[in-house]
Amino acid sequence: MDFRFSEEEEAFREEVKQWLKKEISPRWTEIDAGLWEETEESWALLREFQRKLGQKGWLAPAYPKEYGGSEMSHLKRLVLSEELSYHKAPFGIETEISVNWVGGALSLFGSEQQKKKYLTEVAKGESCFCLGYSEPNSGSDLASIQTRAVEDGDSWVINGQKTWCSFAHYADYCWLGARTDPDAPKHKGISMFVIDMKTPGITVRPLINILNRHSFNEVFLDDVRVPKDALIGQKNKGWYQLAMALDFERSLIGTAAANQRLIENIMAFAKETKVDGKSISDDPLIKDELAELAVENEVLRMMCYRIAWMYSKNLHPSYESSMSLLLSSELLRHTANVGMRVLGHYGELDQDSKWAVSKARIMRTYLSCISIGVGGGTNEIQRNIVAMRGLGLPRQQ
């Protein structure tokens, strides 16, 4: 296999780099918003940047042109994702939710009218989605959701509660799973809906995370009445749509590039910092740990490339996506742990300290990465998927 990009793809990479130099706001670089660290200011900057991407056709590059995309090849999308991630552009999970996770499912299961409306809005940066998946008693066993949607004339009436809804307080729409046949087997009685978050009866309550920021939410639905066309695809076939959206969620292809930047920050500190006249990076134990991170990240990069290649061949990555998510979550935790050991007491300092290293990015990642390996299905669930779908192992003896 030839792992090199074509001349056209490398030229596109350079175009993206130059564009990012001009378009990433200096203020965005100053506040250095990381994972689950949104503020009103950072969200406004992010949305402004998304609209700029939309004008280029780069926000949803795989979408058809009639929906605001540019029908970009999957390998060019990989290049774009790598550069956005490495340069810490205002483009992260909040964008992936709308563009690739929900948008990918809508492109497969939505009606022409639904695709024209939602995909076009997303591609232009005009609207964004949150996910209505998890419930207080339904996490990894997502098919056990109890939120109910009942037909009533020309409407659906929805009652229930969702939790851990990322960015629900900012979102325009919710991609929501609800039970439409309580008597059917749990995987066969679910339907998917697109819900306008301004609909009466929806209450959003903040959940403050470990970084003392508001990214997650509880969402309560009390007699929420939505039109019949809020249903996506066929009634009671939502589990298949949900499973497909989860595969898209686990197919993040820019994670290795983002982690590369973090590893480089740790390496730079290790080279520049001296103890007893010697660079920390000369310590054989530190050197070994940094080398291990670099190798693991190259493995993750190859997994990302494999997923992009599969999409380019019209193949759908299933267990491959779970492999990538599993490795990326564990590698991020490993990177944060190594970073904290290398930084020592400097790693305990927050952004407001003048002695903080790289704006306390390592410490903030150390805290925020706890949730990685839970969202999108726990690492244990990913191992089960790899075992069953990838290795053909039985569910039980």
Beta strand spans in 46-133 (E) = 129-132
Query: What counts of helices (H) and strands (E) characterise the chain?
Result: 14, 10
Contacts of 335 (CB under 8 A, 6+ apart): 259, 262, 263, 266, 293, 297, 365
What's the pLDDT at 253? 78
- pLDDT digit string, tens, across residues 195-230: 999 999 999 999 999 999 999 999 999 999 999 999
What architecture is the 131-237 domain classified under in CATH?
Beta Barrel (2.40)
Residue 137 carries which DSSP code? Answer: T
What's the pLDDT at 396? 66
Beta strand pairing call for 274-275 and 278-279: antiparallel
Q: Residue 397's pLDDT band (boundaries 50, 70, 90)?
A: low
What's the pLDDT at 2? 67
CATH 3.40.50.880 fits 250-390, yes or no: no
Q: Answer whether residue 102 shows pLDDT above 90.
A: yes
Structure tokens at 149: 């949607």
Structure tokens at 27: 């203020």
Q: What does the domain layout of the chain look like in residue ranges?
A: 7-91, 131-237, 250-390
Query: In angstroms, rounded to a whole number, what is the distance separating the alpha carbons of residues 257 and 245?
Result: 23
Q: Which of 56, 80, 82, 81 is nearest to 69 (CA)?
A: 56
Q: What radius of gyration do the chain's Cα atoms show? A: 22
Q: Are 42 and 25 in contact, with CB atoms under 8 Å apart? A: no
- pLDDT digit string, tens, across residues 360-391: 999 999 999 988 888 777 889 889 989 999 99
Mention the CATH class of domain 7-91. mainly alpha
CB-side exposure of 173: number of CA atoms within 13 Å? 25
Q: Are 285 and 335 in contact, with CB atoms under 8 Å apart? A: no
Q: What is the pTM of this model?
A: 0.91
Query: In angstroms, rounded to a whole number, what is the distance separating the alpha carbons of residues 135 and 138?
Result: 5
What's the pLDDT at 383? 92
Residue 256 to residues 12, 82, 260, 275, 372, Cα–Cα distance (Å): 19, 8, 6, 31, 14
Residue-wise DSSP of 272-291: H-EETTEEGGGSHHHHHHHH
Q: Are 210 and 166 in contact, with CB atoms under 8 Å apart? A: no
Structure tokens at 340: 């904290």
Question: Which among 31-40, 181-190, 318-327 has the top mean pLDDT?
Answer: 181-190
